[in-house]
Amino acid sequence: MKRKTRVGILTGGGDCPGLNAVIRAVAKKLMIENNTEIIGIKDGYEGLIRNYYKRLDYADVSGILTLGGTILGTSNIANPYRQAVKVKGKTVLRDVSKKVIQNIKRMKLDSIVCIGGDGTLTIASSLCKDGIPVVGVPKTIDNDIRGTDVTFGFDTAVAIATEGIDRVHTTAQSHHRVMIVEVMGRTAGWIALHAGIAGGGDIILIPEIPFEIDKIASVIRQRHKRGSRFSIIVVAEGAKPKGGKVVIKRMVQESTIAERLGGIGMVLGRQLEEQTGLETRTVIMGHLLRGGSPTSTDRILATRLGISAAEFVIKKKFGMMVGVNGSSISAVALKEVAKGPKLIKADNQLVNAARCVGTSFGD
């Protein structure tokens, strides 16, 4: 008797609202339409390195649509091509990809669906070059993946960030303060831009438009003179002053991108209080943006992407990522994704829209 097709699913990188919705969609479609056996690989690429996996039955992928995080676990450190291993107490990076390929063969996987950000998808692209049939699904709250208009998780992050901005308005107005809300996004300002517009931020600071502290102080003073005795600043964690540097919160050496950004909001708060004489407070939203249940928009997007990824598996469209292009789902070569993050361009329409309603970018 011919054995069933076996497809592995893994989630890599930071967790993100909608991961479980993708797992559910990929697994259900393949089980229902293609009589496929689904293998859940645990903790991202760590599972391929260490042989951590389990068979997923229909019941395992039912009732998970609305769940945050990932039922499979994840790792933003594991990397078959530069895995951190301890040698005589020291951490060294080793290429363990041959062992991973052997493990995949031992697991009898016919293909793997890799759900992750640029790090995970870049590794997926290398695995594909090494002969493993892979399909990618773009995930990140940062919305910075090349080849797709949008990623699932982004809408949820923007909704939570917007709620945060709405809530600090009360204190800003009542106490006549400057309130700074710092949001995640790595080297891209998508979350800050969208939430800043939705929450009516007076000043939005993004990595793509380096700011000048004097300009920000002058906008706050002008607002004060006009009778608006408070100001709301939405700052992306990767924002930096003209000619200056980003603020690094910590280094995770084992990770492909070691820098973890964060803290620019605190630095700005101190500088602006000094320059304007106005009381200033900073709220860092951080991982709040990544936790919990996905919005309805993200549930729908994750389901569409998951179903398309399953279709790619059935049609053997390997080495590809499912992407969003306008209202359609497109096929994007995984190697495209490895070319670097999708950043906000100078002529971005939303930046112009924000400027039209008087928002400053501190430039």
Residue 145's Cβ-count burial label (10 Å; 0-12, 13-18, 19+) is buried
Q: Would you state the structure tokens that stand for residue 95, as one six-digit string?
A: 């290429």
Q: Which residue number, 14 or 207, has a Cβ lying nearer to ligand F6P?
A: 14
29 CB-near residues (< 8 Å, 6+ apart): 306, 307, 310, 311
The single residue among 79, 97, 120, 140 that binds ligand F6P, judged by CB under 6 A, is 140
Residue 64, phi then psi, degrees to nearest 5? -115, 0
- Closest-CB residue for ligand F6P? 184
Of 47-55, 80-88, 137-145, 198-206, the window that binds ligand F6P (rule: CB under 6 A) is 137-145
Q: Which residue number, 110 or 259, has a Cβ lying nearer to ligand F6P?
A: 259
Known catalytic residue: 43?
Answer: no
Interface of this chain with ligand F6P, residues 259 to 298, rule: CB under 6 A? 260-261, 290
Of 100-108, 167-175, 184-192, 298-306, the window that binds ligand F6P (rule: CB under 6 A) is 184-192
The single residue among 18, 185, 241, 362 that binds ligand F6P, judged by CB under 6 A, is 185
Quick check: 246 binds ligand F6P (CB under 6 A)? no
Q: Which residue number, 140 or 156, has a Cβ lying nearer to ligand F6P?
A: 140
Residue whose C-alpha is closest to residue 187's, from 160, 206, 201, 205: 206
Q: Which residue number, 186 or 342, has a Cβ lying nearer to ligand F6P?
A: 186
Catalytic residue among 15, 43, 142, 144: 142
Q: Would you state the structure tokens that stand for residue 13, as one six-digit string?
A: 């990188």
Q: Would you state the structure tokens that stand for residue 325, as one six-digit string?
A: 């292009």
Tell me the β-bridge partners of 231.
178
Q: One symbol per residue from 21 to 60: x for binding ligand F6P (CB under 6 A), - otherwise; what is it?
A: ----------------------------------------
Quick check: 186 binds ligand F6P (CB under 6 A)? yes
Residue 43's Cβ-count burial label (10 Å; 0-12, 13-18, 19+) is buried
Rounded least distance, CB 120 to ligand F6P, Å: 11
Buried b (16+ CB within 10 A) or exposed e, 275-285: bbebebbbbbb
Q: Which residue number, 109 or 114, has a Cβ lying nearer to ligand F6P?
A: 114
Tell me the β-bridge partners of 28.
none
Distance CA 348, CA 344 (A): 6
Binding site for ligand F6P (CB under 6 A): 14, 76, 117, 140-142, 184-186, 237, 260-261, 290
